[in-house]
Structure formats: structure tokens, C-alpha cells
Amino acid sequence: MNIARIVGFGVLLVAGGAAAQDGGKAIQKTAISLGTATPGGGFPLYGNAFADVMNEADPTLSIEPRNTKGSNENIPLLEAGSLDIALVAGEPAYEALMGIGRPPTRLKILTAMYSSPGMFVVRADSPYKTIRDLIGKPVAFGARGSGLPILSRYVLDGLGLKQDEDFQSVYLDRAGDGPAMVLDGRVAALWGAGIGWPGFSAVAASPGGARFIAPNADEIARIRAKHTFLKPLTVPAGSYPNQSAPIDALGSWSFVLARESLPDEVAYRLARTLHGVESALCKKLPQACETTAANTVTAAPSVELIHPGVLRYFREIGVAK
């Protein structure tokens, strides 16, 4: 989906008509476009839960999730003003905010979503047990335009490996295509990230089961020595079917980013509504339990990158100075 097509949807904070009634009185709704990613991945799952909970909590909001190609499309769409808010994985968000390989973006952080420990999943009956076992094999690294292939590039680079030279890299048109490719043998492994990530759940729940492959302790140290922004993260036991032990990995935090011109009052309303219903969002989607005001302050590369309207709310509740 390109920018021109999305602009055609008329996405910019449109005050809708009498979309709801309150005691016979029409409620004017503020429509907010939310960019997610390709169907079958974690971002659409999160985006739909986010919109459902927020819309129910504030009847004046109409948050509308839109499928996109993922993080690498969401950033330019936000910069063009063609989306109001969008989900962006940690690595492309970090590169954009810090100006790595491009001018620094003027987008702002609305909230941290969840931490994303990266790892591979293989069939339980496969011979692959380490990252180096996968060298030369076909590996699905995620959907084109998503942040997952960027995370894997950093992880592999920290080990002296090149994603598109040392592996037979496969990039998906739809995130949901990956599990079937592992199960029918078209690829040896699927790269993914997060707790409760749909692709991992699908492979782990298959009759034959799954095995997860993450960097070992020495590899984690090597990767972090080169890419210090990656953080040690743990996938708790039981996060996936038949996963009996915790898995140590590396990753980062994904964010909901906002266009630069999103009004402070709108960002303030979104933050106040969101963090007033943290428990409801957590109940609806387990990985969203990490979507908290405190985690946003901790995960942001700097507090100045948080939207001013959000910061105003955070200062009111005492989680930011």
C-alpha cells in the first residue's frame, strides 16, 4: 500500500459526523488512523486490541487500524502526515529517531508497546540447534518492510554474519505466511520477536512442536559489544505452547509513534485514555501488559522524544519530571 493510496483514505484526524449517540445527543468523534503491518503478524493483533480498548474507553475517539507493509512504510507515512499514529519496531524506530543512515525524524513517541526479544523457531524434529547450524539454509526473516529483518541483521552482524550472504534469506509478502513455510520445509527457520508472537505460536502449537534458537550467553555478549542499544530480554517459560524453560535473547522495545503535527491536546487525551485502561488492554492481549507509562519513560532513547502532550500527562501522574 503506497502513500498516495493511504492519503486517499482521508486519514487526518477527521471530526466524524454523528457516529454515536449519548442520551439522544450526537457525539462528534475524532478519527485517528493507526498504521499496523501485514496480516498475520503481531502488529495487526496489537493494533486491533489497542483500538478496541481505546474506542470503548473514550466514545469520542475512533481509532482506525490500517494494514500497511510495516515499520519501514509506517515511518514515511507518518512523516508525510498520511497516518496519525503507527506501530514501529525498535530498530527502525531507533535508526529514525537517532538519525542513523538518514536525517533524524521529527516523529514523537506516543507509548512503548512491548519488548521484542528476537529468536528463530524451527520444527522440533529438525537438526538445527544453534544459529550457526542455520548458515547456508533458507530462513524466513519476516515480512518485507517490517522491522524484524532489521533486528536480525543487527543480531547476525554482531556475530560476524551477513544476513543476505551467509543465509538463503527469504522475505515474506505477508507475515502470516512464515509458519507454514517452516512446517512444510520450504524454510529451515523463521525469525521473529516478542512474547506471544503469532508466528511462533503457530509453529509451537503444531503437532510436531517447535524448538527456539536464540544467541547463547557468549553470543549475546559479542552482539552487545558491537550494538549496545540492543537489550538483554527474556521470554518467560510458557510464553509459547510446550515452552517449558525461559529463553534469554536480545531485542528492543517497539513503539507507537505519532506524526509531528499531532496536536498536543490529542496526544494528551490518547495518553490519559490509554494509561487509564492499561489493565483492560493487558487482559485483552498478554503482550500489551508491557504498555505502561513507566515502561515508555524507561524505553524511550530520551524523554525529549516523547510527544509533549504525552509528557504533560506523565508529569501529572508523576512518572516523568
Residue 22, Cβ density class (10 Å: 0-12 exposed, 13-18 middle, ≥19 buried): exposed
Place of cell 540492543: 230
Decide: 170 and 139 in contact? Cβ < 8 Å.
yes
Confidence of residue 24 (pLDDT cuts 50, 70, 90): low
- Give CA separation, 185 vs 60, 87, 167, 190, 210, in Å: 48, 31, 16, 11, 13
**Which domains, from first to last, does the chain contain?**
3-115+253-317 (3.40.190.10), 116-251 (3.40.190.10)
Mean pLDDT for 239-245 is: 95
pLDDT surpassing 80 at residue 279: yes
The reported pLDDT for the residue numbered 41 is: 87
Using the predicted structure, report yes or no on whether residue 18 has a pLDDT greater than 70: no
pTM of the model: 0.80
DSSP 66-121: E--S-HHHHHHHHHTTS-SEEEE-HHHHHHHHHTSSSPPP--EEEEEEEEEEEEEE
What's the pLDDT score for residue 7? 42
pLDDT of residue 28: 84
The three grid cell numbers given for residue 135, joined into one nine-digit string: 548458515
Average pLDDT of the residues in 22-37: 82
In this structure, are residues 193 and 148 in contact, taking their beta carbons and an 8 Å threshold? yes
| Euclidean distance between the first and the last CA atom of the chain, given in angstroms as a whole number | 40
| Residue 20, pLDDT above cutoff 90 | no
- Condensed to tens digits (0 to 9), the pLDDT of residues 49-81 reads 999 999 999 999 999 999 999 999 999 999 999
At residue 101, the pLDDT reads: 93
In this prediction, residues 121-147 reach a mean pLDDT of: 95
Q: Which residue has the higher pLDDT, 15 or 272?
A: 272
d(CA 196, CA 193): 9
pLDDT tens digits, one per residue of 167-196:
999 999 988 999 999 999 999 999 999 888
Please name the residues in contact with 113: beta carbons below 8 A apart, sequence gap of 6 or more. 46, 87, 253, 254, 255, 256, 288, 290, 291
Amino acid at residue number 123: R
Angle (CA) 129-116-93 rounded to 5° is 130
In this predicted structure, the answer to whether residue 226 has a pLDDT above a threshold of 90 is yes
Q: What is the pLDDT of residues 76-128, one digit of tens each?
A: 999 999 999 999 999 999 999 999 999 999 999 999 999 999 999 999 999 99
